[in-house]
Amino acid sequence: MNITDAVSCMCDLAKGEAEQFDIIASNSHSEGISVFQGQVQNTEISDSVGLGIRVIKDGHPGYAHTERLTRDAIAQTIKDAVCHTQWTEPVNIELPKPAQIPDDSPNYNPALDSLSLAELKDFCIELEKETFARSADIKNIPYLGADLNREISIVANSNGLFYTDKDNSVSVGAGAVAVRDGVSKLGNCVKSRRDWNEISMKEIADKAATYATELFGAKRIEGGKIPVVFSERIAGRFVGMYGSPFIAESMQKGMSRLAGKLGEKIASEKFSLWSDPNSKNFCNKVYFDSEGSLTRRVEVIKDGVFNEALYNLETAAKDGCSTTGSAARGFGSKMGTAFWNMYVPAGDKTTADLLKLFPKCLLVVRLEGNSGCNAVSGELSIGAHGFWCENGVIQHPVDGVTLSGNFFDIIQNVVAVGSEYYDKFSGIKVPALAVSNLAVSC
């Protein structure tokens, strides 16, 4: 049976087995191709399908999932979930009833269904040529390929709720290796869109080549506590690493420094942070969460004040409040919580303007790894590359430095927020951030 029929079958079989239940299901399909030296190196087509159920029996939740869409497998999955309720702590929640949601499909473009692997292959082969042509320093392009993805997901429950969402996208990327005076550098550029006509070969080739060559001639700088500007290229990654402390479950489990700090000033008044699922600022819209609750904007940090945490039904019940529509779950996992479109509202200064705020500063355009970063404590220790700037003018590249500090101190020291976002398709939008001081070691 198909995924829709499987969910309907699970709903029918689960009735009477527990007081409440909800189901999340997905069916995804992806096609990918990689190119090397003008030839197709690899192609891959993959499918994933499954459905998971949470039952609530005598107030206790139980989870189970299956990737086999047969009546027998579905019946056994329900039995497994009911069996597991004897081991869990009770929850006091009421699953949502059906509500009116927009009947459009903002995350799906049917025109992408006609895009073929042959077209992706031709594009990638030409992209490789274009990227090599950008600079004589580019000696190799070991990573170049494209992916076409589509997915249908369903949330249903014992109250008759049955929501469906369709999503598709195409991604193309290139990773170029440049060599100069025996020194090698790697530059990557990946673009994702829902409209194939918006994938620009020129943009990908230009950026891959620029990122591969921009740090040649790097010089050392004197370490210490100095002003730092996180470029919009990497500001989203920096903030995104520390999203979990704002989730209620983390606070309830003692894994967040923010427990008990609701209503307190935790950041600069220049800095706000939202979960913004239905904003026009994002290409992807989320009308309902993984529990079927309607989503809404959550202004987690508002002008520096910790304004609201992110909740699902279970964590909201523990704190005696309402869900924020932030439940997140895959068919094979238990219920969690997440940002739906992480957003830092823009300021009124371009990145170039931010550099003029300081006599001297480090503009960071690349981060390396995150093994020294801990969302629980907020600690930050990460390798970085960028440019040394004086009086708003870039002087020379800088590489091999380490940024050290604490995320919660860093957002306290934000003196200005940029006005530019890097990638319109990303689910994380953070402009450049100007920080008054940060420990930099060389």
How far apart, in Å, do the first and last CA atoms of the chain sit?
Answer: 59
Q: Of all helices (H) and strands (E), which one includes residue 119?
A: helix 117-133
Query: What pLDDT is attached to residue 372?
Result: 81
Query: What pLDDT is attached to residue 442?
Result: 87
- pLDDT class of 371 with cuts at 50, 70, 90: confident
Q: How far is residue 348 from each of residues 210, 345, 364, measured CA to CA in Å? A: 27, 10, 20
**Cβ(326)–Cβ(338) under 8 Å?**
yes
Query: What pLDDT is attached to residue 145?
Result: 97
**Cβ(26)–Cβ(65) under 8 Å?**
no
Confidence (pTM): 0.94
Is pLDDT above 90 for 370?
Answer: no
| Nearest in space to 357 (alpha carbons), one of 271, 435, 293 | 435
| Nearest in space to 418 (alpha carbons), one of 233, 276, 289, 278 | 233
Percent of the chain exceeding pLDDT 90 equals 97
Is pLDDT above 90 for 104?
Answer: no
Q: Over the stretch 273-287, which tens digit does the pLDDT of each residue have?
A: 999 999 999 999 999
Query: Length of the chain, please?
Result: 442
Phi, psi of 437, rounded to the nearest 5 degrees: -160, 145
Kindly give the pairing relationship between strand 224-230 and strand 360-368.
Answer: parallel
Token pair belonging to 101: 């949601």
Is pLDDT above 90 for 16?
Answer: no
Query: What pLDDT is attached to residue 43?
Result: 93
What's the mean pLDDT when you consider all of the chain? 96
DSSP 97: P
> Spelled out in words, what is the top-level CATH class assigned to the domain 3-213?
alpha beta
d(CA 191, CA 183): 27
Q: How far is residue 203 from each of residues 115, 124, 134, 195, 210, measured CA to CA in Å? A: 20, 13, 11, 15, 10
d(CA 165, CA 276): 18
User: Domain spans of the chain?
Assistant: 3-213, 224-239+346-441
Query: What pLDDT is attached to residue 369?
Result: 82
